[in-house]
Amino acid sequence: MGKVVITYGTFDLPHVGHIRLLKRLKALGDYLIVGVSTDAFNAQKGKVSIYPFEERREIIASIGLVDKVIAEEHWAQKITDIQRYNVDILAMGDDWAGKFDDLSSDVEIVYLPRTEGISTTDIKTVISRVNEDKLLALECAIDQVSRLAKKLR
């Protein structure tokens, strides 16, 4: 099978940063495994996804760079996956730098820089602001209609 690379993530609201990361991950080896966090695991981490696990899994599986998609269900499964799939490299975004160094006796650890200027968190923040702006505009419109209706009585 050649050199096996594994990574993990939520992969909610896929964007160019995810694609660029997957391309860099694929370039590290011959076979790329992606662990997509389940909804239950995300809840443990305090995360809420826009897309449910099965849809996020399907999206990642559909990207031609990924050879296998697995469910990430808990923190401790990384060592089990590394052994089960004979993984050579565990690669993560550099926002996780140092967090998995304890696995370095079992696998090479690589932390890759994130794509600057884009993140799922930023996208969710923009969407939230747009929704808040629309809600405020709707509240103003309802208030104006209510005042007009009172005048017409």
pTM over 0.85: no
Is residue 45 annotated as part of the catalytic site, yes or no? yes
State which fold the 4-116 domain adopts: Rossmann fold (3.40.50)
DSSP lists the bridge partners of residue 108 as: 89
49 pLDDT band, cuts 50/70/90, is confident
pLDDT digits (tens, 9 = 90+) for 70-120: 999 999 999 999 999 999 999 998 888 999 999 999 999 999 887 666 666
Distance CA 31, CA 2 (A): 7
More confidently predicted of 124 and 26: 26
The single residue of 3, 26, 47, 124 carrying the catalytic annotation is 47
> Measured over all CA atoms, what is the biggest interatomic distance in the chain, rounded to whole angstroms?
79
Per-domain residue ranges for the chain?
A: 4-116, 119-153
- Integer-rounded Cα radius of gyration of the chain: 21
The number of C-alpha atoms within 13 Å of 35 and in the hemisphere containing its C-beta is 23
The single residue of 23, 45, 68, 134 carrying the catalytic annotation is 45
